[in-house]
Structures are given as C-alpha cells and as structure tokens.
A and B are shown apart, each in its own frame.
Chain A
Amino acid sequence: MALSTDDVRHVAKLARLALSDDEVEALRSQLSDILAYAEKVGEVVAADVPPTSHAYALSNVMRADEPTPSLSAQDALSTAPQAEDGRFQVPQIVGGE
C-alpha cells in the first residue's frame, strides 16, 4: 500500500508526532514498504476464523473492592516534568472534549 504525504501527516497528527518535511518523506517511503510486506496477511483466507487477542484464554479476572494505600502526593508528583500547587502543569489545552 503506497502512502501519500497526506496519509503520513494525518497519521502523525493522530499519534501526536511532530515531523519535519524530511522525516515525512522518509517515513512515507519506509512505511509504504513495511505495509506492503505486512499486507501479506491479506493473502490468507480467514473470513470465518475468529481473531485471537490472547493465546491462553483467561476470563473473569477481577479483584475485590478493597482499598490499598495510594501514593503520597509527593511520590505521585516526584516524576512530574512541571508541577504547581500539587498538580501536574501543562500548557493551555486547545480543543475540549
């Protein structure tokens, strides 16, 4: 599957990766090659084969509703690149949900 530059930019935006024009072009060609290879899976006739998420099928793995100690705020924030007033700081958020 040959990807276009637009395809690459679109996917980069979905993945929050800022790419230079050179990177976009390099990726366009590499991704096209890789996907062309990966597309071989399409040669397999498998319409009525169920997809496998896990080879060893477990189910109903659940835990009791019992609290355990949380991290202290200090520990929780110990890795924060930027923090203020006990919270994680980020630049302004554009585009709400």
Chain B
Amino acid sequence: MSHLNAKSARGLTRMAATELRDVMASGEVSAREVTQAHLDRIAATDDRVQAFLKVLDTQALAHADDIDRRRAAGEPLGALAGVPLALKDILATKGIETTCSSKILETFRPPYDATVVQKLRAADVVVLGKTNMDEFAMGSSTENSAFQKTFNPWDLQRVPGGSSGGSSAAVAAFDAPLAIGTDTGGSIRQPAAFCGLVGVKPTYGLVSRYGLIAFASSLDQVGPLTRTVKDSALLLQAVAGYDPADSTSIPEAMPDVLTDLERGIEGLRIGVVREFMGDGMEPGVRARVDEALARLEKLGATLVDVTLPHAAYGVSAYYLIAPSEASSNLSRYDGVRYGLRVEGETAEEMMANTRAAGFGPEVKRRIMIGTYALSAGYYDAYYAQAQRVRTLIIRDFAQAYTHCDVIVSPTTPSTAFKVGEKSDDPLAMYLNDVYTIPSNLAGAPALSLPVGLDDLGLPVGLQVMAPILGEAVMFRVARALEADLGFDPTPRGAHALEGVQ
C-alpha cells in the first residue's frame, strides 16, 4: 500500500488508518476524497456483503468537509481526523436509528449520543454507517439479525461470525479501515478470526458503556476491529478513558500501548493453555496455531504450559450469567416509552404482545433462561453458582500469570461455518465461544489476530490474552507476530468478494 496509489480511490480503500491519517495530514488527499472513496466501495460491495443497516453518506461527507475546512484554517483536529469507521448498531447515535438489529428498536432514535460516539467525533473519525449484528448482541454468526444476514467477504456462503458480524465484514471488505464492535463472550474476537482481522476486547471498564445498549452488563465491552494491530491500538486509545456517567468505568488512565509496540518479544513468557490445546478444534485451526506458536518461540519468547482448570465451566457459567443480566436489561422494552408497540386490552397484554412480536427466537430463549436462572428457588444453584465459578476462573488466571506474561490460544474451534449450518442448534452455536468466554468472565483484555488460512482458504485467528490493564504487552506480542507473519487481509478464494485486487 504505497503512497504512489494514494490518489486513486482503490488505493485509498486499501490503506490502513495510520496511512490514511498521514496522507490527509500531509495534504495529498482530502477527507472528502477519502470518505467518498469508501462510500463508493460500500455501494459496490454491500449488495453482496450486507454489512450495513444504514449508510450515513450525507452526515459522513458533511463531517469530512468540515474536517477539510478546519484543516485549511489551521484549526486543531482530532487524532484520527478523516479516517472512516463502521459503527456497530448497538451504540446510541443521537437522532439516528439505533436498532441492535431488532424489530423492537427498528425506529428508535435516541435523543443522545453514547460516550464512545462522542469520543469518535472528538477524534474526528468519520462514521460511514451503522452495521448489522446479531439481535441484541446475542449470537455468533449475525444470523440472528431481524433485518438481514451479513456474509463473510472471504466466502459469501459463510457467516462473518457474530455478534459484530457487520463491523467485521465491513472492514474485511475494505469498506472502512476501522470498525467498532462489542464483545460480551467473544463477539469481536470471533468475527475477527472468521474475517482475517485484528479484534480487541479491552479490560472491562476501560471503555465507557454509557450509550452502549446493554446485553450483559458485567461482561459487555466496546472494542476495535481493524486490519492492523497498530490501527486497533490507535482506535482503542481514541475511545478509552474514564467516564463519570458509567459507574463501572475504571478511573485509571488508558495504558500506553504505543511506546513499546515495536519492542519485540525477546524474553517474554507466553502461556499456552493446556485445556484449550486438546481435541476441540479443527485440524486447520490446529495447524496454523501450532505454526504461530513456533514463530513466537523463534522471535525470542518462551512458551510455558499453563492450566486454567475451571475454563471448561466457562461456557456454562456464561450461559447463566449473561442471560440472567440480559433478561433484566431487556425488560425495559415494553412498548411504553420507545420502540415497537403492539396493542393489547391491558398494559400487561400490550407488553407481552410487543415483546413477543419484537424479539427474535434467540433473544426470547436467552430471556427465558435468564428469568429462570434468577427465579425463586433456582438463584443459588444457577446464577450464584455461576458467579462462584467465575471467581474460580479469575483465580485460575491469576495463578497462570505467575508463570507467564501473556496467554495464547486459538480464538475459535473452527473457521467460518456456512450460513444456516448451526442456526438450528443453539448449543452448538454457544460452543463457538469456548476460548473467548473466560476473558470476559475475568474482565481481562484479549485480542485476536489472523495467523493464516486453513485448507479451505478461510482465516484462522490466534487469541492473545493479558492480565487486567495489560493491554501494552498484549499489543506488543500481537505486533511482533503480525510483523513476522505478513498476513494479507485481502479476501480471496472461490466464493470470496471480488474486485478487491
């Protein structure tokens, strides 16, 4: 991606955020040109990828023009001025529909912006549109969207992963260099793995949840999806930070992830989770992961065998805790103050009819599980017990980190599966999250980066986990591996999105 191609639209859409920022800063290219190039790209591809629910072309171009005007006038600009971004439709955007891919919020226009959205604007990031997702973030394939399916640019017959499938597909399709997703049980990392991207779930509390439509409050986190590690670091930096409007926001400053980014990993100890290296994954995933581990050693790190004895219970604990919190978080969708309303003779009937019509099957399943797990007589055996298992998983991590600096594992047991392949089997779908869930439960940061393709030509992701507020070492390991691998994020293959090369 050389600057020789900077002026061509195709060249612009191939660039990483860092490059785009620089060519705009140098005056070679205007923010309008950059935005237009990406809007054109969306127009050319989204009929097949279906990543976007809503493209905000007018607003995006207006923002780009404003950036150009201010730059010309010598006014100060945000850190990522003019760089385009795709925004998961789970963050409140004032006056613009925010739907969570649900019928129940199809026409909902929040009268306020999420804190993350305000921070993106302050960074002068140009939001191109709102992306598709699994309804209320519940899912691992984006097939649970009430409005449309999204297709994986690497193979349009396959899912992009979920729940941040729209954001992932948009970045993989080169519609934008940056996207924002959310991760509760793996919903950034798993689609990143499926789409050959870098995806980061930060330390819980690092990024404000104010304006993030809640799924599971103690697990939800906002994070970046990008094609390069450095872009993720920059985007995370732009959206992280203490927010007094969020009581779970960490008062500590965002760790400095840039200073040591290129330092290399000589002497670092890298934990390999024994329980995650067993039979659970596809051979293609296994092969690429093993190769990545070998590279890490070659780069000077020491591999250490670590154990997370309670990780096996992570999925069960998660599928009690998350639905329980969700069942309560989603009670507010009752047809009274906003969103869909289906009439009834009484208020109670109206609420029940509204919710029946407005929620899809997966959302209903999880509300039901959660309501049951919290109900009288079951609370202690289910919800409380799951929170005790959570404590044990946290202790497992603490113990493991006495032997290593970061922990790695496959991100997912398989590569992208076909549309419709798992949608009839909720449990099978849940088991996608087996490697990603533990770090959500522990509130610790985790990242996925692409480490190669399997035999079908589908991307494989490696997960790098770090202790709470350990983003710096996590990014550093990922960067070292990325530099060594030289993975090409261009979707290719028999069923891939065409016209990228």
**Interface set of A (CB-CB < 8 Å, partner B):** 3, 7-8, 11-12, 14-19, 23, 27, 30-31, 33-35, 37-44, 46, 49-56, 58, 61, 63, 71, 75-76, 78-82, 88, 90-95
Given contacts A50-B388, A53-B218, A80-B337, contact A91 B344 (CB under 8 A): yes
* A-side contacts of B381, CB under 8 Å: 39, 42
- B337 pairs with A18, CB closer than 8 A: no
- B317 pairs with A41, CB closer than 8 A: yes
Within 8 A of A (CB), among B199-223: 203-205, 218
* A-side contacts of B313, CB under 8 Å: 40-41, 43-44
Q: Residue B116 at the A interface, CB < 8 A?
A: no
Q: Residue B282 at the A interface, CB < 8 A?
A: no
Min CB–CB distance A46 → chain B (angstroms): 4
- A93 pairs with B356, CB closer than 8 A: no
Q: Residue B237 at the A interface, CB < 8 A?
A: no
Q: Residue B385 at the A interface, CB < 8 A?
A: yes
- B368 pairs with A44, CB closer than 8 A: no
Q: Residue B34 at the A interface, CB < 8 A?
A: no
B-side interface size class: 35 or more
Partner of A41, one of B355, B359, B389: B389
Given contacts A58-B250, A94-B346, contact A46 B388 (CB under 8 A): yes
A79 to B320, CA, bound (A): 32
* A-side contacts of B352, CB under 8 Å: 16-18
Q: Residue B422 at the A interface, CB < 8 A?
A: no
A38 to B431, CA, bound (A): 12
* A-side contacts of B110, CB under 8 Å: 79
* A-side contacts of B371, CB under 8 Å: 11, 14-15
Within 8 A of A (CB), among B204-260: 204-205, 218, 244, 247-248, 250-251
A41 to B204, CA, bound (A): 23
A34 to B425, CA, bound (A): 10
Specify the main secondary structure of chain B where it touches its partner: helix
Nearest 6 interchain pairs by C-beta: A55-B443, A51-B387, A79-B338, A81-B341, A18-B352, A46-B388
A23 to B178, CA, bound (A): 40
A30 to B364, CA, bound (A): 11
Q: List 25 A-B contacts (CB under 8 A).
A: A15-B331, A16-B331, A16-B352, A18-B353, A19-B356, A27-B368, A31-B369, A33-B426, A34-B319, A37-B427, A38-B316, A38-B386, A44-B392, A51-B387, A54-B218, A55-B394, A79-B338, A80-B337, A81-B336, A81-B338, A81-B339, A81-B340, A90-B350, A91-B344, A92-B345
Within 8 A of A (CB), among B43-100: none
Min CB–CB distance B342 → chain A (angstroms): 9
* B-side contacts of A90, CB under 8 Å: 336, 347, 350
- A51 pairs with B369, CB closer than 8 A: no
- A54 pairs with B111, CB closer than 8 A: no
- B365 pairs with A11, CB closer than 8 A: no
- A54 pairs with B316, CB closer than 8 A: no
A80 to B336, CA, bound (A): 7
Given contacts A61-B247, A94-B347, contact A56 B203 (CB under 8 A): yes
* B-side contacts of A50, CB under 8 Å: 388, 391
* A-side contacts of B327, CB under 8 Å: 15
* A-side contacts of B373, CB under 8 Å: 38
